[in-house]
Structure formats: C-alpha cells, structure tokens
Chain A
Amino acid sequence: MSSEVFKDATRMSGGRASDEAIVAMEGVYKRFKDFEALKNINFQVGKQEVVVVIGPSGSGKSTLIRCINRLEEHDDGRIIVDGTELTTDVRNIQEIRKETGMVFQSFNLFPHLTVLANIALAPRQVRGMPKSEAEALARELLERVKIPEQADKFPAQLSGGQQQRVAIARSLAMKPKVMLFDEPTSALDPEMINEVLDAIKQLAQEGMTMVVVTHEMGFAKEVADRVVFMADGEIVEVGTPSEIFDNPKEERTQKFLAQIL
C-alpha cells in the first residue's frame, strides 16, 4: 500500500493521522537469510495514537516494532522516528532509542538489581540524571503502576504481573515519545493479565503514543485508535477497531478473526 492510500484510509476511518507522524515507515523490507519477514511496509503512527497490531504468529508483527528501535536492522526502505531517520549513524540510533520505550514479552528485568535500581538505571546512565533524582522519579513511576511497596525487592521476588508493570515503569523513566509493546501479556498467567492491561490503558488515556502487538482483542477494541492486521510479512488491512473486527474486508483478515474469536 502506498503511503498516500495508507493516509487516506486512515483519514477516512477517522484516525488521528496528522502531519506530524511520530513513527513513519516507508517501503520497509527485512530479510532473514532466505526468508522475507517484512515486505513493503508502509506504516505511520500519529501523535497520541494507539495502534494495535494483530496477526498470526510469524506474520512479522514483532519484527515490525523491533525495527523501530533498531533491535532488528531493516534492509530496505526508510524508518523515521520523531524526525530522526534510522540509519547506520550511531547518533541517530542512540537518539531514537532514547525516545522509544519497549516492553518485552518476557519482561527482561535485570535480576541482579532491585526494582528501584532497574527503573533508575537508564535515566542515570543515559541521561546523566543524579542518583537521588532518578530514584525519586522511579518511586513516582512505581506509584503510577500501583506497586510502590516493591521498590527494594528483587525481580525474582515479584509475580509476573508485577514484573511487567515494573518493566513498563522502567521504560517510562526515559520519558519516551512512543512506547512499543511486544506481546506484553502473552507470558502471563490469566489472573495477572488484567492488571497489566489496566496499566497500559491508563497510559493510553494519559495520551501516550503507542504501538501494541497483542492477541488481546478485547483490549484492542477498547483502547485502539487503529488496528493493523498483518500476515506473511505484509500489512493486509488497516482500520478502526469496529471496521476490522465487525467488518473485515480482506479474506485473510476474515479467516484469522474466525479462528480466534
């Protein structure tokens, strides 16, 4: 899909496409050895937009958002985050990583540091914040995700849901412009999924721009401004939640939704 068509579709479906896209991907390709993980991706995220990406496993959803903060290197096309283009320039990569926050499926908290140290690490090391200020910020963020009492514990002592919320707080500590979520609840036991989804919803309400890869359709319906369906490395269909879930146009979308809903 060319970028013009993409934007028109977005505008027609009432999405908040603006001329200041926080994330813009144009003609992006990504190959792993002989396998094309991403094909001709044209994708934009506007300010304060919540975009949810759904699709079968192997469709390239994770690869898409991992390209945004350079955890994967795209082979063709261009990616621009908040005005900075993602190239092999170390300064650009560094800038973009400072402005994006990522929450992983397996939390990836640092087990040898306390919860507080986990959150305070990046502001101190990357933004040069003094220790007391960083720790105050960390406590504030822990309050925001509703687990202030866990500050001096180690990640191994927390439940999965609590760990993921600490991971969210850790990413927020860098005050990013856009948050990327890579299947944040897929590794959680069912009873803990909601506490994490609530935290993410709260962030959305507070106006954070985010791209969320998930299987939680209820969450998508509730919070997404736009839903993107991917399959086989391509963006197949884009629309509002009601458009995609109630009225899917493409056959692949219909098949996928029939399987999971």
Chain B
Amino acid sequence: MTVVFGYVGLWVIWTVIEFVFVTGRWEIIQVNLKLLLVGRFPDELMWLVGASLTALAFWVAAVAGGSKIDLNNVQTIPQRLFDYTRRFGLIVALAALLIFLAADIAALLLAFQVLGGVIVGRLVGLARRKVSVLGAIPSIIWHPMLGSPAIALVLVTLMESTLEEWGGFLINFYMAIISIVLCFPLGVLLALGRRSSFPIIRLVTTTYIELIRGAPLFVLLLLAGVALEFFIPPSIAPDAIFRGVTVFTLFTAAYLAEIVRGGLQSIPKGQTEAGKALGLSTTKITYLITMPQALRNVIPAQIGQFISLFKDTTLAGAALNILDVLNVGTAITKQQDFLGQGLIYEALAFVALLFWVGSYVMSRESQRLEKRLGVGVR
C-alpha cells in the first residue's frame, strides 16, 4: 500500500517540479504580469492601488494587534518571529515571486511599503491595549476610524479611474472586499429579523435568506447581467462591476445572516436576562451585550465566508464578462505571441497560485483564531 501511494506521490511531485523549473515557459506570465494583476489600470494611478493596499494592511494589522484574545500569550521575540514566518511565509514567498517576475524596483518598494503599513498597524493596535486614553474609545468608532484611510483611498480609486480600466486580480480582490464590507449591515439586520418574535418580520427575512441560499450564484449573476437595470431608476446605468458587487453583496448578506444567527443562538439566555434584570432596554441589550459576543464568536465562520466569496469572484468574470484574473489568464494564451503553444498550463497554474496562497493562508488564520477563541469564551 505504502509503496503504491508513495510511488504515485513521488511521481506527482516530480512532474510538478519538472513543470515549474524545467519545461514550463513562464515568459507568458512575465510579459503579461501587469495585465494579470491589474488589467489595464492606468499607470499614473498605480500609486493609488499601492496606497490602498498599504492602508488595508494597516487596518487589518491594527484590528488584529488590538484584539484582546491573546491575553495569556507571552512569547519571546524570536518565538514571535518564528510564529510569523510560519503563518505568513507563503505570502512573503508569493510576493517575492511576483517581484522577481516583475523585475521592477517599484514592486520591491511597494512590498516594503505594505510591510511598513503592517508594522505601523500592529503598533497602533498594541497602543490601544496599553494606552488607556485610546482604549477608552469604543470599538464601534475605533475600528471604522482606522479603516477610513483605506475606504477613502478605495473611493478615490473608484472615482479617478473608470471601471473599464480595472482588470485582473485587482477586480477579484476589490470586489470581494467591497462586497463583504457592504453586506455586513444587511446581514446583521437579516439575522436579527430571522430571530425576531414578530411573525411577519420573521417570514420576510426567512424567505429572502432561503431564496438566496437555494439559488446558484452563477445564475443570479446572469440574471443581474440582464435584469438589474430594470430595478433601479433609469438615470443610473449599471456597469458590469456594479452588477457584480450588488449580487455579491445581496448574496453574501444572506449567508452572513445565517452565520450571525448561529452566533446569536449560541449566546446563553442568561445574558439577556441579566441585561433585563439590570433595566437595560432590548435594543441596548442587543448592541451592548448579545451582538458583540455573537460577532466575536463567529469570526472564523465569517472568514470562511469571505474566502468563499473571494473564490466566487471568478464567476463574475464568466457571467458578466468582467476581465478578472481567470479571464485574463485564459485570454493571454490567445495572444499572437503565445497562440497555439499549449501555454494554458502556465497561465492557469499562475492564477491557481494566486488564489491558493490567499485562500490557504486565510483559512489557516481562521483555524488559529478558532482555537484561541475557544479558550477565551466561558
């Protein structure tokens, strides 16, 4: 048994190594790197992309750094570094590969800029824990405040460039992020509605959630591709990315609602009773006591949903003819210089690598969080 499987495994590994280092012709990727990553994004505005990335990295690092989950975690500096390497080594390796392929000093500088954003973000997050003045600011203000540079930069990017110029991995990434941010309020409201004791509200929200969950995302995108303009005022002409984001937002909101509902259900009834006994109103109990706990408990599931959404952005490419990275990947094999040379393997391998690294690292982090959260919750 071992021999058979061992042989198969070794054969696979050998084939892959041979493909990557020997027989693979990677010029197609090198030449088209910009197209794959950002489509036809105007060169003079590229700094916006870099800046938004940095701002996003800052935001995530700040939120993570300020979290009170790891209170009992005392690690020495070398242990910390080893831990970070293990967790994020793959991303660093991918970034190195991209810089190598780009062969451009600007890419290297961007990498350092993003790293800087991460470090500053982590320090700011830590500062919130130690400095009581900062800690006094309620989370509901602090987190969006930290995110405002990122949000502002994304909005500026949207305004300065036309959406036709967007393409490649940029689209997948941004569509996912914009949708997950926008779907949050709706998802939370739906979750509350589903658990409501008012029959009509419950019926309406349940119907919406079950309708969306029973429908294939691909078909919803196709429908939005032809039908969305009928439901909005004639003055707004929806373009493909707008349609995509709308569908992703409405879609993910339904799934998020189920996740949050699960979280709310797991909060012991005694919590609301204690709130009531203290004289708190139902609204206050929800947003001071039950919601914060529920949302925190389901962070791993939320991350899982984001990963799904991230991978599903490829569907927008197929349904709405958006030039996302997968579409670009298949398109570049038809370029004059590369036509008919069977380079589809290289193209798809590169696209696969981008998605795989992102997805794998995020799901590992989510598993790690799940373990830590399990300890902290009583």
Contact = CB atoms under 8 A, between A and B. Distances in A.
Whether chain A touches chain B in the assembled complex (some CB pair under 8 Å): yes
Interface of A: 69-71, 94, 97-98, 100-102, 104, 106, 108-112, 121-122, 125-126, 154-156, 167, 170-171, 174
Contacts of B376: 156
B279 A112 contact: no
Size range of the chain B interface in the assembly: 20 to 34
A121 B279 contact: no
A94 B378 CA distance: 29
A112 B278 contact: no
Contacts of A156: 376-378
B278 A106 contact: no
Q: Nearest 9 pairs between A and B by C-beta?
A: A108-B274, A102-B277, A108-B270, A122-B278, A97-B279, A156-B378, A126-B279, A98-B279, A112-B292
A153 to B, nearest CB: 9
B289 interface: yes
Contacts of B268: 106, 108
* From B271, B277, B289, B377, residue with most partner A Cβ within 10 Å: B277
A106 B293 CA distance: 17
Contacts of B289: 110
B96 interface: no
A154 B375 CA distance: 13
B278 A104 contact: no
A104 B296 contact: no
Contact of B278 (A111, A126, A154, A155): A126
A97 B292 CA distance: 23
A122 B279 contact: yes
B288 interface: yes
Nearest to B72: A157
Contact of A125 (B68, B284, B293, B378): B284
| Most A CB within 10 A of own CB, among B274, B280, B288 | B274
B273 interface: yes
Nearest to A131: B136
19 contacts: A69-B276, A71-B276, A71-B277, A94-B281, A97-B276, A97-B277, A102-B274, A104-B273, A104-B277, A106-B268, A108-B270, A108-B271, A108-B274, A110-B293, A111-B293, A121-B280, A125-B288, A154-B71, A170-B278
B277 A125 contact: no
B270 A106 contact: yes
B326 to A, nearest CB: 41
B259 to A, nearest CB: 18
A97 B71 CA distance: 35
Interface string B270-306: 1101101111110010001100110010000000000
Contacts of A109: 274
A110 B279 contact: no
A126 B377 CA distance: 27
Contacts of A112: 292-293, 296
A174 B278 contact: yes
Contacts of B296: 112
A97 B293 contact: no
Interface string B350-378: 00000000000000000000000000111
Contact of A126 (B68, B71, B280, B292): B280
Contacts of B377: 111, 156
